[in-house]
Amino acid sequence: MTMFVVKNEKEEMTIEGLLRGKGKVEAKKQREKKLIPACLYGKDTPNIEFSINVKDAEKLRIGQIVKIKVDNNLYKSVVKEIQYDYLKDKTLHVDFLSLIEGRFIEIEVPLEIRGESPGVKAGGVLQVLLNKLTIKVTPDNIPDKIIIDISNLNIGDSIHVSNLIEKFKDIKFVDRGDTAIVTITHEEETTEESKSE
């Protein structure tokens, strides 16, 4: 099986932040001004509450490395969490985690499944059990995503987190090694499971 990491090689984005007060009322005022409330935190960084431009917020994605300029200070960070409204069409809040070179951080990274499985062609069913993993990694090794090729999987085959642990030595996986990511099952098995639920 083939697995590889897509490194986060996009040019680092720099955004301006405006200091703001704390609380829900203040956050609502910021949104009315077309600004998105945000915060920066980290082990050696005091929590900083600020706001960013809506257009900047819409460009962000979890795991992205961003430089934030607030109150004449520049902080290197990673987008830790983005909160959206219930329709998922408006950004409500962004959390940034400050980065220190060489220090491991915990972050979620998406998984992408590629390829055509011989098992599926033979009548099996591809079951994708995870679409993201939690990892611990240093800032210079943060991946954009992990790609898993299923072109060699037959009926009954699976890929587990332990397979990734063996492959990627510079990444620590938080999920248990015996956690299945994808598996190719017999169509009958899937049907029986559906009946029993």
Radius of gyration of the chain (CA): 21
Q: What is the total residue count of the chain?
A: 197
User: Binning pLDDT at 50, 70 and 90, where does residue 52 land?
Assistant: very high
Please state the rounded mean pLDDT for residues 74-99. 86
What pLDDT, on the 0 to 100 scale, is given for residue 23?
66
With 70 as the cut, is the pLDDT of residue 22 above it? yes
Is residue 152 within 8 A of residue 182, CB to CB? The reply is no
What pLDDT, on the 0 to 100 scale, is given for residue 27?
66
What pLDDT, on the 0 to 100 scale, is given for residue 191?
44
User: Binning pLDDT at 50, 70 and 90, where does residue 94 land?
Assistant: very high
With 90 as the cut, is the pLDDT of residue 29 above it? no
Q: Would you call 105 helix, strand, or coil by DSSP?
A: strand
Domain ranges across the chain: 10-98, 105-196
Instruction: Look up the CATH superfamily of 10-98.
Output: Ribosomal Protein L25; Chain P (2.40.240.10)
With 80 as the cut, is the pLDDT of residue 88 above it? no
Please state the rounded mean pLDDT for residues 99-121. 87
d(CA 117, CA 177): 23
Architecture per CATH, 105-196: Beta Complex (2.170)
pTM over 0.85: no
d(CA 10, CA 150): 27
- Which has the higher per-residue pLDDT, 143 or 23? 143
